[in-house]
Amino acid sequence: MSLTALFHDHLSERMHWVATALSATRFDTLIISSGEPFTYFADDQEAPFNTTPHFRHYCPLEGPHHVLKLQPGRKPQLIRYAPEDFWYEQLPLGNPFWLNDFDLVEAPTVDAVWEAVGKPMRGAYVGNELVRATGAELELNPSSLMSYLDWGRALKTPYEVACTEEATILGAKGHEAGRKAFLAGASELEIHYAFVQAVGCLDHELAFPSIVALDEKSATLHYEKKRGFRKGRVLLLDCGARHLGYPSDITRTTVKDSCDTRFQALRNGVEKLERELCDEVIAGRPWGQVHHLSHLKIGALLQEAGILKVDAEEAVAKGFTRPFFPHGLGHFLGIQVHDVAGKLASPDGSVQPAPPAHPYLRTTQTLTPGHLITVEPGLYFIPMLLRPFREGDNASRFDWKQIDELTPLGGIRIEDNVLVTQDGPRNLTRKHLPD
């Protein structure tokens, strides 16, 4: 199926959901804007602009101040902000594959954009142009409507899956280049640029700030600095690309042959259990259950390595796996990397919170065909989290000598993106990056 046809079906399906959401929340019109740039305080420099994801979800047009006017029964209207400008390049619209799905209005100024919006009756607004939206007498980011829209976004259309797959192909190229650079002795900064160059984008066009961590830095979960340090023994590379706004989110941990063999065995153990967990991405399964299973598997691996001296059940029951694996097993992936609706229990906005023992679990939903989720178990040596276990009755359950010897090597994370289908899990990542 062509991208044009996929997009047409995507937008039609989403417009049905918009109609349902508006009617359930007593609105007639949904106005979504692509957003206002952020200017640093007391400066004239702007942060790199990121189009509001709610806008991107309906229209792949990038840039600030565009507006979508969505009304059930009418063709979606795109009010495109198209100034003449000699300071910054304004790309011509051309004839993109998605254009025929919109009624296009071209507006040379922001005032003209909002004149075209008008003051629709019972209108809701999603975005950050609050002064403009207030002037248009719209209700700002109403939470009841946002929950409804988010609920629909959790179920990916074939267009979205195709975009994520393209982002995966790009991301896989970046990962191959990054790993090659690492094995040749490159620094974190050089590995980052090997990735960026292979993808062919600017830094801020990546899916998220890259995590390129050598040795002990790989135990900082979102390590974003880039040291000049070379010749690491362990590389944790968590990085993804984007295609038409949609990101991939991929992590690989590579160890050199010269690395401590005990750490190599742990890395291979995480790889094995990650693949097993990907097979558990099955419709009808509460994600919390898969997360619990991941702790049992990490517990078994730690026992096998002799790092824990209790079996997996006891390790999980007593919270011994948590300092080694302190984050959630995964999160929804969509037009946002940490996508919406992970904890929604229904479209009306009721929430199923993370259990107190696992506060960083981002998803508590039951898996449903169309959900796209990351599977990203980790095993880290994080001194601040292990410290409380060094004292007291449980201290003898840990092999502190081994822990201290492996701590300089940091940690391990492996991450794939998996689609829930009627026929079982579909791993989008391994097809393009097998190991």
78 vs 290, beta carbon nearer ligand GLY: 290
Report the distance separating Cα 274 and Cα 151, nearest Å: 27
Checking phi first, is residue 93 left (phi over 0); if not, alpha (psi -120 to 50) or beta?
alpha
> 382 — phi, psi (to 5°)?
-115, 105
Residue nearer to ligand GLY on the CB measure, 223 or 398? 223
Residue with Cβ nearer ligand GLY (129 or 376): 376
For ligand GLY, the binding residues in 200-219 under the rule CB under 6 A are 208
129 contact, one of ligand GLY, Mn ion, none, CB 5-8 Å limit per kind: none
Stretch that binds Mn ion, among 41-49, 173-181, 232-240, 425-433 (CB under 5 A): 232-240
Site map (CB under 5 A) of Mn ion, residues 243-262, x = contact: ------x-x-----------
Q: x/- site string to ligand GLY, residues 368 to 387, per CB under 6 A?
A: --------x-----------
Q: Taking each helix axis from N to C terminus, what angle separates 158-183 and 188-199, rounded to the nearest 10 degrees?
A: 140
How far from chain centre, in Å, is Cα 328?
Answer: 13
Lookup: tokens for 353: 């919170």
The residue assigned the tokens 């690395």 is: 259
Q: Which two tokens stand for residue 154?
A: 């959790």
Q: Is 238 in the site for Mn ion (CB under 5 A)?
A: yes
Asked if 29 is part of the footprint of Mn ion (rule: CB under 5 A), the reply reads no
Q: Which does 97 bind (CB under 5 to 8 A by kind): ligand GLY, Mn ion, none?
A: none
Q: Is residue 238 part of the contact set for ligand GLY (CB under 6 A)?
A: yes
- Check binding of 416 to ligand GLY (CB under 6 A): no
Shortest CB 267 distance to Mn ion, Å: 17
Q: Indicate the residue among 209 and 349 with the shorter CB distance to ligand GLY.
A: 209
Best CA proximity match to 11, nearest among 119, 82, 103 = 103
Q: How far is the CB of 210 from ligand GLY (least distance, A)?
A: 9
Taking the complex as a whole, the smallest distance from the CB of residue 215 to Mn ion amounts, in Å, to 19
In the three-class reduction of DSSP (H, G, I as helix; E, B as strand; rest coil), residue 337 is classed as coil
Q: Which of residues 365-394 bind Mn ion (CB under 5 A)?
A: 374
Dihedral sign for Cα atoms in the order 180, 223, 37, 123: positive
What is the smallest separation between the CB atom of 238 and ligand GLY, expressed in angstroms? 5
Among the listed residues 327, 304, 326, the one whose alpha carbon sits nearest the alpha carbon of residue 399: 304
State which of residues 150, 215, 216, 249 lies at the interface with ligand GLY (CB under 6 A): 249
The entry of ligand GLY, Mn ion, none near residue 208 (CB within 5 to 8 angstroms by kind) is ligand GLY
Query: Contacts by 251-255 with C-beta closer than 8 Å and gap 24+?
Result: 251/211, 251/376, 251/413, 251/414, 251/415, 252/175, 252/179, 252/414, 252/415, 252/433, 252/435, 253/218, 253/411, 253/412, 253/413, 253/414, 254/179, 254/182, 254/183
Question: How many residues belong to the site for ligand GLY (CB under 6 A)?
Answer: 5
**Segment lying near Mn ion (by CB under 5 A), choices 31-39, 102-110, 162-170, 231-239:** 231-239
The residues, any chain, with a CB within 8 Å of residue 167's CB and separated by 6 or more, are: 207, 240, 241, 242, 243, 246, 247, 248
| Cα 203 to Cα 64: distance, rounded to the nearest angstrom | 19
Question: Of 36 and 238, which CB lies nearer to ligand GLY in the complex structure?
Answer: 238
Residue number with CB closer to ligand GLY (79 or 341):
341
Instruction: Look at residues 7, 71, 59 and name the one whose alpha carbon lies nearest to residue 33.
Output: 59
Enter the tokens of residue 226: 């880039």
CB of 171 vs ligand GLY, minimal distance in Å: 11
The sign of the CA dihedral 290, 164, 98, 88 is positive
Q: Which of residues 394-423 bind Mn ion (CB under 5 A)?
A: 415
Binding site for ligand GLY (CB under 6 A): 208, 238, 249, 376, 415
Binding site for Mn ion (CB under 5 A): 238, 249, 251, 374, 415
